[in-house]
Chain A
Amino acid sequence: MIGWFGVGCLVFLLVCAIVVARTRDLLAATIVFAAYSLVMAMTWQQLRAPDVAITEAALGAGVTTLLFLLAIARTRRTEDESA
């Protein structure tokens, strides 16, 4: 087994995924998603795949979160559309 830290990361990932799915506020979801990507990068480092970890950290946490922020900035922040 990859140790209790690895298992902890996996549980955190599952929780993050569910939180992203459930929250109505997209900005909160984006932030949780950034955390999700970072922990995923850490998991991969645990699984001895550093290249992938760096790329995931940079692309997943970095760029994807930026993209989501830009999209939300230019459209609508919350999921339920009162208008």
Chain B
Amino acid sequence: MNATAEVYSLLPALIVLLPIIGAIAGYLVGLRWPTGRDLLCVFTVGITAALTFTFYPAISRGTVIVGSVQILVPLGVTFRLDSLGFLLTSLTAVIWFLATLYSLSYMKGEHGVNRYYAFLMVTFSGAVGTFMAGDLFSFFLFFELMSLPAAVLVIHEETAEAVQAALKYLFMTVAGSLMFFFSMVATFEMAGSVALGGRGLIAEASPVAFLTFAGFVIALGMKAGMVPLHMWLPDAHPVAPSPASALLSGIMIKTGAYGMLRVMYEVFGLEFLQATGWNTVVLVLSVVTILLGSSVAITQYDLKRRLAYSSIGQMGCILLGMGLMSERALTGDVFYFFADAVAKSCLFLCAGVILKTTGKRDIRQFAGLGQRLPVTMVCFAVAALTLMGIPPLNGFVSKWQLSVGAFDAGMPGYALALLASSMLNAVYYLPIVMTAFFDHPTPVEAAAVAAPPTGGGRGTRRWLPEASATMLVPMLVLALGCAVFALSPGNWPLRLSEAAARVLFSK
């Protein structure tokens, strides 16, 4: 392993701590002065996003940021930021900032808003911490810090359905974290340390080692929505408020896949998995996830449930990329993290606008929506096309790398699965876009377009009748994110993915 220069800095600890302080301060301020709290929240997330970007010069030179806080919990908390970690942390920070901006007007007039922002910030700190974790123990700590408060976001509406979904989410999260806890302790006991970033920790293939691997796969697969354990996802995401489900689908389920990546490449190591062939477990499960997730999505008529099932499908592709065990596939996989996060959160934000302005959830009533909400539907279309893997957009780049990687790994069959995924995406996204733009709106619909919009801010100048600026701008930024990186030569996310793949493979 080449001697990667390690720079010690406590900035990661600050990045994790800042949102928690923001959450507490926000809650207290919010009791009396709601607008002050909104500004405080957006400001804190913005600062944290800016802080993560300060690592870019060091990371692009290939150095690794390391930091540790010893006083906490049995093993203390350690941070380790390499190119993969940096890419996902900065991605999380940006999307979280956009979602917070988006929820400023989305949550206006809702109940329990103070609690929503506080738990949104705590979950943000958990997510960022998970991507920056330096060892399995800190990963587990932040993983819990992220998934438990998320239950409060899921239960926000406090309807009976929301309570059921949150309970199911909570039980499966606790079950998953116990499995992870068992595997982590087993690794600690077998390998003596749980530090990531080193060579494969576990060397011999004893039955306890397989139990550990199974524990990791179940725990992280459950979070990533792998098929047999995905039941909580289609209930939890539609019930949550749209910005929260955007983050749930966009970022939080990615932590599961990221954890799987670290486990497969750094806890078990490449040669060990290829020798024992345990990665075929992941491959088979991911193919089943792709097929099942995408096909069930077709049958869903509620927009958010369809998007939730589509996330399961996309996560199948990501897990597939990991299992292929070839460098190009890994590059495509890491870039797919980036592409799917951006596209999926954009889709959920569009769904939020549609829900907020027209109150429609059922896809069959979307006829002629394009005239009424032009900007939203354009963003929706761009994000949908990305996920379908249409050439000029990010999706195509990652799908291309993945299929080439599949051929490199000598398992061309899996490339077919990727193709099937793209086609199935088309089958359930295109009808929405088509009805929105090319069908004629029903008479009632036409009247609504002509008349000035009833809802909307009190007297705020609205340059577009659809929704306030704070909702449209994040969508536009994300839609641009899907497109601009694929075309522009300076595609830094792709370069970072290649660097990450090179580091993981050189171990």
A and B touch in the complex (CB under 8 A): no
Task: Tell me the A residues contacting B by CB distance below 8 Å.
Answer: none
